[in-house]
Amino acid sequence: MNSYAHFVYEITKKFPKDELFGVTSQIRRSSLSVILNYIEGFARQKKAVKRNFWEISYGSLKESKYLLHFSLVEKYLNTTDYKKAVDLSEEIGAMLWKSIQSIKE
């Protein structure tokens, strides 16, 4: 998860400067939110609270994944970087989903 956020920050350095407060900011926040909400959930003792944070993390992952696609279509992102980011997001998504399902009520 940590590598995903770092990679998103790296690739967004190449985004247009006029997107700094738009797509660049949003994709950075959502990718960082994936790891931050996972960590916060991990620190919680109650299963329902833990699961809630992990679901937020999963939602942030889906948000950032859409923004990657949007960035590819807008040509802010090249295909190689897009593929690498999507591959990372797929790995994280599978892990998160498994974690969420493991504490289902």
31-51 residue pLDDT tens: 999 999 999 999 999 999 999
Helix, strand, coil distribution of the chain in percent, nearest 5: 80, 0, 20
Q: How far is CA 80 from CA 9, 19, 32, 84, 92, in A?
A: 16, 21, 21, 6, 19
pLDDT (average), residues 16-36: 96
The reported pLDDT for the residue numbered 1 is 67
- CA–CA separation, 19 and 11 (whole Å): 13
Residue 104 has pLDDT above 90, yes or no: no
Sorted by sequence, the CB contacts under 8 Å of residue 83 that are 6+ apart come out as none
CATH number for the domain formed by residue range(s) 2-102: 1.20.1440.60
